[in-house]
Amino acid sequence: MEQTQIVELTADNFDETVLTAPQPVLVDFWAPWCGPCRLMTPVVDALADIFTGRLTVGKVNIDRYPELAAPY
């Protein structure tokens, strides 16, 4: 069984990990102060477990990388 991995997306790895990925990618744009984001964390984690090997799951902290969230 493959181990679930959630990728921390940054300005350095976003394009390679998301835009040119060979498989689908779920991007979770979140912030530490965001209540709904915290509520969604278990759902995103579960999706990462369920779709391990078929889906890449990445998280963007929008406080650190607002420029990554702006286009979306």
Catalytic site positions: 34, 37
Tell me, letter by letter, the H, E, C secondary structure of the chain: CCCCCEEECCCCCHHHHHHCCCCCEEEEEECCCCHHHHHHHHHHHHHHHHCCCCCEEEEEECCCCHHHHCCC
